[in-house]
Amino acid sequence: MTDEITPFRIGVPQRDLDDLRDRLAATRWPAPLPGDGWDTGVPTAWLRDLAEYWRTGYDWRAAEAELNRHPQFTTVIDGQRVHFLHVRSPEPDAFPLVLTHGWPGSVVEFLDLIGPLTDPRAHGGDPAHAFHVVIPSLPGFGFSGPTADGGWDVERIARAWAELMRRLGYERYGAHGGDIGAAVSPELGRVAPDRVAGVHVNGGPGPLPPLPLSEEDTAALTDLERDRIRRIEAFMQEEFGYISIQSTRPQTLAHGLVDSPAGQLAWIMDKFREWTHPRDVDPDKIIDRDRLLTNVMIYWLTGTAGSAAYVGYAQQQSWGVVPENSGVPTGVIVFAHDVAIRRYSEAENTITRWVDVNRGGHFAALEEPELLLADIREFFAKIR
């Protein structure tokens, strides 16, 4: 292993874009199921419309240029290529912050936050809230894929992030994440407690409550907490299938997703519909279509559907083992879709800030960037 960091620039060959358009034009569409609604999965009519826009209206070159406006690099850590954005603030006292995405997300999640985080003065904010941001692609995801070997659980990813920050010369820094990033960020505090000044997550740092709850435990819950328990139970009954597939047969799934852009689009859009808020609104009415498709393109162009599924959910965890509390101050913002419950999260984390919000969904940086930005700033203002 060396400390070498190599500048990186996205440059997709035109033949890959032409191939995508040809595949989309030749899609073999299934007949709609009765009602063609979201209750049986992604509706055929809705997906066909989005796929046609992808083929004829979406501009990858514009998205590629937007990504390339930010300095990008690759480095090899623990045998794995890691791609990351590294955007330094013009403010001399800016605080380093590593941002970790989840599945089915990518570094695209954070594009709208980079400017306000790194240069608040230019975005109507206080320059005292400036950050240097590091945004890695998770191992196996996008330009950090495919995975070179197995065993990339959240602890190993956290150790890789600690090494990445060391290579960049940051001795003290913060961490933020959602979804998988909300597991990696607290773990970074555990593997590098002397360097991580604070951890901030959206959605909750875990763990989920042990179900089913006893009558005594249920009686102690607030109305908000009971609602979250109900929704966790519904998730386990109605939505757990994708985890079962990705954590046991990711290679089988990958053959379909890497070959079919419509299949890849449907697989990702299913989660964006289920996890955005409000749930009964189509996801492209909540998040800009182009942004949704740019995120899908990261998976499609790199062919990493299989390795992202594998890394995201084939985690090596010991059931019943409570991770050590790092003591690192941890801030949590829970948007309306998500189900974190403070009393359970406190078993593994030193919660110093907890905010419940009555709007927004799982993809906080895409759905409610201003709310998320304000909470990140307020949390780190006290510890930076």
Give me the catalytic one of 179, 270, 284, 375.
179
Distance (Å, rounded) from C-alpha 294 to C-alpha 300? 10
Query: Which residue type does 166 have?
Result: R
Structure tokens at 277: 């808020």
Provide the strand spans (E) within 171-288: 173-178, 196-202
Among candidates 89, 90, 73, which has minimal Cα distance to 81?
73
The CA distances from residue 32 to 184, 232, 261, in Å, are 39, 29, 18
Among candidates 62, 83, 100, 123, which has minimal Cα distance to 201?
100
Collapsed DSSP state (helix, strand, coil) of residue 223: helix
Distance (Å, rounded) from C-alpha 91 to C-alpha 73? 22
Q: How far is CA 81 from the centre of its chain?
A: 19
Give me the catalytic one of 53, 242, 313, 344.
313
Residue 382 burial (C-beta neighbours within 10 Å; 0-12, 13-18, 19+) = exposed
Beta bridge partners of 356: 334
Collapsed DSSP state (helix, strand, coil) of residue 286: coil
Q: Is 200 a catalytic residue?
A: no
Q: Is 270 a catalytic residue?
A: no
For 340, phi and psi rounded to 5 degrees? Answer: -65, 145
- Contact between residue 89 and residue 137 where contact means Cβ atoms under 8 Å apart: no
Structure tokens at 148: 């070179």
Q: Is 362 a catalytic residue?
A: yes
Give me the catalytic one of 129, 290, 362, 375.
362
Distance (Å, rounded) from C-alpha 149 to C-alpha 359? 39
Which 8-state DSSP code applies to residue 133? E
Collapsed DSSP state (helix, strand, coil) of residue 166: helix
Q: What is the DSSP string of 321-373?
A: PPPPP---EEEEEE-TT----HHHHTTTSEEEEEEE-SS--S-HHHH-HHHHH
- Positions annotated as catalytic residues are 179, 313, 362
